[in-house]
Structure 1
Amino acid sequence: MEKKLVTIIVLPFSKAKILKMRLEEQKIESALEEINLLDEGATSVKVQVQDRDVKDAIPVLEDFLGKKEETLKTGDKQNEHILVPVDFSGQTLKTCKLAFNIASHLKAKLVFMHCYINPLIHSVPYADVYVYDSTLLARMDNAEKNANDNFKKFIKKLSAEIDKKEWKNVKSEFIIKPGYADEDILTYAHENNSMLIVMGTGGGNESTVGSITADVIYNAKVPVLVVPEKYHERKLNEFKKILYATNFGEKDFIAIEKLVRILKPLAIKVFCVHVAKDECSEWDKARLEGMKELLKSRYAEKDFDCRLLQGDDLLKTLDKFIKDESIDVISLTTHRRNLISRLFNPSVARKMVFHSQTPLLIFHA
């Protein structure tokens, strides 16, 4: 029987070489095959194993990617990067363009990731004996070919819309692998301490959030920028105002520190806003003053404006403020899970136009 090679992942060359060594340490034969995703030359490499070794290779791959790690690893300043999941939708194109713009300002690398379902890996329950199935392998070949072809077309279109000269100024890497997108996005981000994940809502319309995006939002330990379906494309230097929804918690100051790091090269005003259902208490006023003083002492060069708002309906109160102040980005931390749930609740979104055009930056303290 002819030996069949199965692609288990596409990686940048340097990472592919390390994975190949890991596989060979486990006595698993592997091969590397360059693929040309850009006209300038091969930038990524297929890591392939024999079909009979897939069952043994997958645990090595998952360990290499960090799937067993639950903690966030310490970052490497030489490897600061922004992770951008790609699904080839129309929304992904403008999401990637915004991510590119951010990476250009922060002088960070872009890592584009696409995950696809591989019939061999995701449809066959492995037993002690693997039954060769030529039909399944044909479907696997087709899934891999479609993923690579679509990725190449997408990157070519993206680089052309950005401008090829600008494109070359930002270092980029490409990862194409069979797997479940939510798991692999989180795994890569935590293993490599991504500076930021930038992704679309993925829900198919402005009033829902897709399951993959929702899973990443709730479980990521790194900041996530969610770009809505109706977001109007703009350059990053056109962003002038950010709203940070605060509850005066200690975690807010950790998130603000991360926010300032992302905003470092930009002249953006940050509104720290707290909404009280009842009339603003003296305690809220005192905490607001304390926040003002602390932010002024820590970030003298940044423009912070702390506000107390009163309203029975939290979302409507924030929405009015967003419209009145022409807010460009909404930001919050996930310790207020109820707030996030309400933001993404379809019944709420149908009643009001909230965050449907405004990117949402989520921190995880």
Structure 2
Amino acid sequence: IPEEEILRYAKEYRPQIIIMGTRGRSQKDIDLIGSVTAEVIERSKTFVYAIPEHTPLKTFNDIKKVAFVTNFDQRDLIAFDTLITAFKSFYFAISFIHLSTENDAWNEIKLAGIKDYFQKQYPQLELDYNVIKEDNILNNLDKYVKEENIDVICITNYKRNIFARLFNPSIARKMIFHANTPILVIK
């Protein structure tokens, strides 16, 4: 099974990142459950960079703007720090985004606080933030990506049990079947 071999290899050789291709929007619904990339994302202990099929290939040097999805979990802050440390030799602007079901002023306040905190930690970074309505999450995220010229979407993904994975797919899993923007999944 391909995902088992990829995970076995990653466990043995401990790469910093696993880079995989996806079919993005052209993915058939029937393949939704068994995607190799989705399984590697769910079970890997390392970064996974998923590149959709029709995305022009870019080197990390070509990446100019990254969207970092946060739900204000403490683990997101640690993941962001891990991202910056891992890719410190590359320069890109970062936009913190939060997916929200309602207009809540606290979301903006929290995002502004995160931005200010990391601006002090990493003064060389160009940081921004935005709230995206979750009523039609994937389409709203697509619209944001196009309007803001986002090159990569960064998503954190945490270990979940099999029932949670089956009945409530992660945002990372949903995105690899929908987006035509590369996704970097941070562990």
Match of 2:43 among 211, 219, 239: 219
Say if 2:96 and 2:115, in contact at 8 Å, map to a contact too.
Answer: no
SS of residue matched to 1:232? coil
2:143 matched to 1:320?
yes
Tell me how large the CA RMSD over aligned residues is: 2.3
Cα distance in 2 for residues equivalent to 1:312 and 1:322: 16
Cα distance in 2 for residues equivalent to 1:298 and 1:204: 35
Give the C-alpha shift of residue 343 in structure 1.
Answer: 2.4
How has the CA–CA distance of structure 1 residues 246 and 197 changed in structure 2, closer, same or farther, with 3 Å as cutoff? same
In the TM superposition, 1:112-127 aligns within 5 A as none
2:61 matched to 1:237?
yes
Match of 1:305 among 116, 123, 128: 128
Say if 2:172 and 2:185, in contact at 8 Å, map to a contact too.
Answer: no
2:157 matched to 1:334?
yes
SS of residue matched to 2:26? coil
2:16 matched to 1:195?
yes
Cα distance in 2 for residues equivalent to 1:242 and 1:205: 20
AA at the equivalent of 1:220: S
Give the C-alpha shift of residue 308 in structure 1.
Answer: 2.3
Q: Unpaired segments of 5 or more residues in structure 1? A: 1-179, 350-354
AA at the equivalent of 2:149: S
AA at the equivalent of 2:66: I
Say if 2:96 and 2:111, in contact at 8 Å, map to a contact too.
Answer: no
Give the C-alpha shift of residue 204 in structure 1.
Answer: 9.3
Partner of 1:269: 93
Query: Which structure has more RCO (C-alpha within 8 Å, separation ≥ 6)?
Result: 2
Partner of 1:45: none
Say if 2:108 and 2:130, in contact at 8 Å, map to a contact too.
Answer: no
SS of residue matched to 1:243? strand
The number of aligned residues is 174
SS of residue matched to 1:231? coil
Cα distance in 2 for residues equivalent to 1:303 and 1:297: 11
Give the C-alpha shift of residue 271 in structure 1.
Answer: 0.8
AA at the equivalent of 1:289: A
Give the C-alpha shift of residue 340 in structure 1.
Answer: 2.8
How has the CA–CA distance of structure 1 residues 266 and 317 changed in structure 2, closer, same or farther, with 3 Å as cutoff? same
How has the CA–CA distance of structure 1 residues 309 and 205 changed in structure 2, closer, same or farther, with 3 Å as cutoff? closer
Partner of 1:136: none
Cα distance in 2 for residues equivalent to 1:258 and 1:242: 15
1:43-97 alpha-carbon deviations (Å, 9 max, x no partner): xxxxxxxxxxxxxxxxxxxxxxxxxxxxxxxxxxxxxxxxxxxxxxxxxxxxxxx
Partner of 1:144: none
Partner of 1:362: 185
* Structure 2 length-normalised TM: 0.82
Say if 1:244 and 1:270, in contact at 8 Å, map to a contact too.
Answer: yes
Larger Rg over CA atoms: 1
Q: Unpaired segments of 5 or more residues in structure 2? A: 159-167
Give the C-alpha shift of residue 230 in structure 1.
Answer: 0.5
Cα distance in 1 for residues equivalent to 2:20 and 2:45: 15
In the TM superposition, 1:1-365 aligns within 5 A as 180-201=1-22, 203=23, 206-208=26-28, 211-279=35-103, 281-335=104-158, 337-344=169-176, 349=178, 355-356=179-180, 358-364=181-187
AA at the equivalent of 1:284: N
How has the CA–CA distance of structure 1 residues 184 and 312 changed in structure 2, closer, same or farther, with 3 Å as cutoff? same
AA at the equivalent of 1:287: K
Cα distance in 1 for residues equivalent to 2:66 and 2:53: 19
* Structure 1 length-normalised TM: 0.44
**After the TM superposition, which of the residue ranges 294-303 and 324-333 deviates more from structure 2?**
294-303
Cα distance in 1 for residues equivalent to 2:24 and 2:137: 26
Say if 1:275 and 1:317, in contact at 8 Å, map to a contact too.
Answer: no
Give the C-alpha shift of residue 275 in structure 1.
Answer: 2.2
Cα distance in 2 for residues equivalent to 1:264 and 1:318: 26
